[in-house]
Structure 1
């Protein structure tokens, strides 16, 4: 089993602003506000969190299994 990655770059789909963030290790993040344009990001359909939708690395719970962290 490989190590869990906690840092991921999330990119706003509206303005393209990237930001390196530390993900929570035990929870989904359902909302994220872009610091540049203030758009409120929500997960895309079928994704459990904003990191799974808009970031370079999926969330830690999803890294640990093939399912979405909310059980889908």
Structure 2
């Protein structure tokens, strides 16, 4: 069985602020508001969630080889 990392450091592309967050295991997170500059982050094209786009660790479904929550 593969170990799943639940913490990811998400970095705002606008101001560079980083924060370690715990990723949800039962849903994708499509939005994340930077607490420093209030920029609303959304997934980049081709990514399923903000952690896959801006985090140091991909979301739990992607870590285990799934297409994440949108299954497209």
Give 5+ residue unaligned stretches, structure 1: none
Moved over 6 A (4+): none
Please tell me whether residue 29 in structure 1 is matched to residue 29 in structure 2. Answer: yes
Indicate the residue corresponding to 2:4 in structure 1.
4
What TM-score, normalized by structure 1, do the two folds share? Answer: 0.92
Q: Give the match for residue 43 of structure 1.
A: 43
What is the aligned partner in structure 2 of residue 18 from structure 1? 18
Instruction: Count residues with an aligned counterpart.
Output: 72
Structure 2, unmatched stretches of 5+, are none
Do the aligned residues in 2 keep the contact of 1:62 with 1:69 (CA within 8 Å)? no
Q: Given the two structures, how large is their TM-score scaled by the length of structure 2?
A: 0.92
